[in-house]
Structure formats: structure tokens, C-alpha cells
Amino acid sequence: MEQAFQCKVFNQYGSREIPNIACECRHGNQHVFTDMVYLESLKIDNEDRLIITSLTNRVMPFIRYEIGDSGRLKEGNCACGSPFPMMEMGLCRSNDIIKTRSGKSIYPSYFIHLLDGLADIQQYQFIQSEPDKITLNLVSPSGLSSEAMSSLRARVRRDVDENMVLEINRVDEIKRTISGKHRFVISQPTRSSAWP
């Protein structure tokens, strides 16, 4: 974006429910709009989760709302001089991270690049429903060649886990989440399976 528009681009953090949470300053730190939100971070399931109270929404109260993002408040002062406290976001949500039986964590970026160079893929989603199984749902009119499918399976066994099974399904569509997001990678632990 900076290349295309020839200007500095700043990151702003907000959501549909709570639009103004934090904004990046010229030193690259995210400052929390403490005049509009009360932001907390709580350790839940070994992950720092953001808990937000909106101070401006008088129509629908959001009080200690778990927004679904991970992140935490940062100590100290920023060189920009802003009195607003700093925060940092987690890389991604914990249920976007594929975890193997051996305890390895694989971030979504790995799976997003796995399909690089393959043609005719309109939508895709990787879902880990069991510790040793990932399902790749693809919307692709012509589908993948058998060489492409065996190459994907071999790469997953090599990079993720030697026992990881990759099941590839062609589907008509991939539904968005209730908030309208398309999730590329979902780790969906089931209670019955022994999750690492």
C-alpha cells in the first residue's frame, strides 16, 4: 500500500462492534484510545486475549467483551510523546494455529503459501479437525491434478508432521464466519480426540 500510494500507511485496530480501539503512531507503536475503550488482556488457555469495554457505545453495552483477538498492553512510553498507552497484537488467534501431536505449532502463513502457483483456485480453507488430519476444502472449477495433490500431501508430511493426513475436497462454496470474515485456516479441536 505504501508503494502504491507513495505515503506512509498507519495501522488502526478496531472491529465492527468497537470501531476505535488503537492506532499506530509514526514510531510504529499501537496506542490505545483510552478515552473510548477500556482495554484489558487476560490469560485464557495460555493465550493473552483482549477484553474490551466500550466507553462510547450507549446503545448496546460492550462490557468486558472478549473480542476474539489476542494481544496485550505494553509497558513504557513511546518516543512519539503520546500519553496513550501502548498495546501489541498477537500474531493470530489460537484457533488459527495448527498444532501437531509432537507439540509443533504451524502458523497460518505456511498454509496460505502452500497453494502458491496453483491455478484455478477461487477459495480455500484448511481445517484441522483431528490431531493427525487436515482437510483442505477447495472451490476450484477444474480441480487439482493428481500430481499437485500428491505434492501437497508430501509437503505437509515433510513440513508439518510425518503422520499428518491431508484430505482434499472440492466444494461449491466456503461460508464466511458470522462476522463476515473468510478464515483460511481453522484448528478445531474436538473433545473426543486426544488433542496435544
CB 113 within 8 A of CB 127: no
**Nearest distance from C-beta of residue 27 to Zn ion, angstroms:** 5
Residue number with CB closer to Zn ion (79 or 91):
79
**Nearest distance from C-beta of residue 112 to Zn ion, angstroms:** 30
**Nearest distance from C-beta of residue 69 to Zn ion, angstroms:** 20
DSSP state of 5: H
Count of residues near Zn ion by CB under 5 A: 6
How far apart, in whole angstroms, are the C-alpha atoms of residue 173 and residue 166? 19
Instruction: Cite the DSSP H helix spans in the chain.
Output: 2-5, 108-114, 146-159
Residue number with CB closer to Zn ion (82 or 151):
82
- For the four alpha carbons of 153, 159, 160 and 164, in that order, the dihedral sign comes to positive
Using the rule CB under 5 A, which residue among 39, 78, 106, 136 binds Zn ion?
A: 78
Q: Which of 1, 2, 182 is CA-nearest to residue 96?
A: 182
Binding positions for Zn ion, 6-45, rule CB under 5 A: 25, 27, 29
Part in contact with Zn ion (CB under 5 A); list of ranges 65-73, 79-87, 98-106, 185-193: 79-87
CB 102 within 8 A of CB 164: no
In which element (H, E) is residue 129 found? strand 123-130
Burial class (CB in 10 A: 0-12, 13-18, 19+), 100: middle
Residue number with CB closer to Zn ion (79 or 165):
79
Binding positions for Zn ion, 82-141, rule CB under 5 A: 82
**Nearest distance from C-beta of residue 91 to Zn ion, angstroms:** 21
Residue number with CB closer to Zn ion (10 or 38):
10
Characterize the bridge pairing of strands 185-187 and 123-130. parallel
Residue number with CB closer to Zn ion (78 or 87):
78
Using the rule CB under 5 A, which residue among 73, 80, 168, 171 binds Zn ion?
A: 80
With binding defined as CB under 5 A, does residue 176 bind Zn ion? no
Q: Provide the binding-site residues for Zn ion, judged by CB under 5 A.
A: 25, 27, 29, 78, 80, 82
